[in-house]
Structure 1
């Protein structure tokens, strides 16, 4: 299997390195200083659990340069999804499967505008990893998990094969019979920790420990659950409490990627996280005051650090 990883940041770089180290034929799409460093010095993953130094590594600058691929894994920021999807149309038409490990619950709708729906299967991941410097990925904590599945609920050969290859590479991975629900369950968690760690500029430890911010975290996630249910997703009544208990197991120093982007003055995925909740709530006639407030407070930073 030839696997193309589009986006070699924390998610794509980490998982792609593990697959490459296990002997998979992996090509990365990476631009700028990060891509140049990977070509010159290889890809370094600093991880307590699975450190790697992949050298040499196959890197191209644009999806159009991938060549042949059996599977394309998308790991770019959400604002790049439309352009990436458009560029992948020839590969998908030639038989390549496509799975996105991006954040959010609207990503695969964007993909299906440009590639055949049959090419796309659903995917989600849990990982705290970031580019520390050009050519270097650092993982925080031990959590690294991938879940994939077909939207019709079948355990197809392609999803079971991908999970087998991930597991063989030391990646925690599984097949889901309800990938839509899995994506929303992650979305509930992600919107919550992204909102709170970004708007407070604090890691999750003090936020979950303080009764006031813990209550706000629960409110943010509860609104996401309400929107998901209104959209027809089967989300259980205990989900918010389960997500809080999961958050209690995270490293106290953990920050969501949006919080790190905010600190670094980079563009935010806000329109697809709390902002996305606000938009979807409007479509189904719900009020989401906690997420609306978060989206408003972070709006000046959505395109990067505002000019003063």
Structure 2
């Protein structure tokens, strides 16, 4: 199976790099600047599971002249439209598109452009970032990749993709519940991102502040209520774990959106918080805490845009 990984940042670089290291047929679609860097220094992964430097197969959008069997889409959510343009020529009638973006907005964009049949549900969980040298730095041991047909079926194509992704140096999981798991991840990211960014602190710092725990629980309740109304409801066990995780005393846990904000980088505010708020409003739900978090993030984004 011929795989095209769109993006070679912290996520695409890690999973695509591990797949290439395991001998899979992997090509990276990157922008010219990243291509030059990778050609010069190689794709470097620094990880508790072992460091590696690879010389990956690279493509830029202007050089695509064939279709791939599967496209793994790993860019930031605010880069989606440009990425879909870049990869369009690589997607044929039978190509599977496996996105691991945050939120659910990308699902609508991909199906509108390439058709519902092209989409494979997916999500990843990995604490990783790209440093100033362009190296992919894995900051913790977990490196999960989950995927499946959106209708939960065990199709021939998803079983073939599963065979390629398994035993490739990370924890790959084929699941019949991928749509629910995608909504659950969005639930966690919206609550955690809103909490840390609005309060400018870690979970433990918020919990230690007067009213911090009540605020966290209130925000979680708004997010969960919204998801139940407009998406696929999370399990009770997931909600209980989220409430515990986001109110844990002394926890240094933060969201990637908060870490990006501290660095002065672009954030996925529209996709993680704004889109959920828009869906809540369309459903007639009152979400004052979620609205406050988005307004706060919008001020930051507007400042960056100047």
TM-score for the superposition, normalised by structure 2: 0.89
Give 1:262's aligned residue.
261
Contact 2:6 2:72 in 1 (8 A): yes
CA gap 1:261/1:68 in 2 versus in 1, 3 angstroms: same
Give 1:298's aligned residue.
297
Trace 1:36-115 onto structure 2 (pairs within 5 A).
Answer: 36-54=36-54, 56-62=55-61, 65=64, 67-115=66-114
User: Helix, strand or coil for the counterpart of 2:94?
Assistant: coil
Cα-Cα RMSD? 2.5
Give 1:166's aligned residue.
165
Give 1:10's aligned residue.
10
Q: Using the TM superposition, give the Cα deviation of residue 237 of structure 1 relative to its aligned residue in structure 2, in angstroms.
A: 3.7
Q: Using the TM superposition, give the Cα deviation of residue 193 of structure 1 relative to its aligned residue in structure 2, in angstroms.
A: 2.0
2:42 and 2:271 mapped to 1: Cα distance? 32
1:161 and 1:278 mapped to 2: Cα distance? 37
Trace 1:179-258 onto structure 2 (pairs within 5 A).
Answer: 179-207=178-206, 212-245=211-244, 253-258=252-257
1:33 and 1:173 mapped to 2: Cα distance? 30
Q: For 1:21-63, what per-residue CA distance to the aligned partner results, in whole angstroms no more than 9, with x for missing partners?
A: 1001111122254332211111111111243221x11222327
Greater shift after overlay, 105-114 or 220-229?
A: 220-229
Contact 1:104 1:187 in 2 (8 A): yes
Q: Using the TM superposition, give the Cα deviation of residue 128 of structure 1 relative to its aligned residue in structure 2, in angstroms.
A: 1.5
Greater shift after overlay, 76-85 or 204-213?
A: 204-213
User: Helix, strand or coil for the counterpart of 1:82?
Assistant: helix
CA gap 1:92/1:233 in 2 versus in 1, 3 angstroms: same
Trace 1:147-166 onto structure 2 (pairs within 5 A).
Answer: 147-166=146-165
CA gap 1:248/1:201 in 2 versus in 1, 3 angstroms: closer
Contact 1:153 1:177 in 2 (8 A): yes
1:248 and 1:38 mapped to 2: Cα distance? 41
Trace 1:14-33 onto structure 2 (pairs within 5 A).
Answer: 14-31=14-31, 33=33
TM-score for the superposition, normalised by structure 1: 0.89
CA gap 1:244/1:180 in 2 versus in 1, 3 angstroms: same
Q: Using the TM superposition, give the Cα deviation of residue 180 of structure 1 relative to its aligned residue in structure 2, in angstroms.
A: 1.6
User: Helix, strand or coil for the counterpart of 1:154?
Assistant: coil
CA gap 1:174/1:211 in 2 versus in 1, 3 angstroms: farther
Q: Using the TM superposition, give the Cα deviation of residue 68 of structure 1 relative to its aligned residue in structure 2, in angstroms.
A: 3.3
CA gap 1:259/1:93 in 2 versus in 1, 3 angstroms: same
Greater shift after overlay, 222-231 or 56-65?
A: 56-65
CA gap 1:203/1:24 in 2 versus in 1, 3 angstroms: farther
Greater shift after overlay, 222-231 or 29-38?
A: 29-38
Contact 1:73 1:101 in 2 (8 A): yes
CA gap 1:185/1:66 in 2 versus in 1, 3 angstroms: farther
Query: Which ranges of structure 2 fall in alignment gaps of 5 or more residues?
Result: none
User: Helix, strand or coil for the counterpart of 1:5?
Assistant: strand
Q: Using the TM superposition, give the Cα deviation of residue 226 of structure 1 relative to its aligned residue in structure 2, in angstroms.
A: 1.0
Contact 1:81 1:111 in 2 (8 A): no
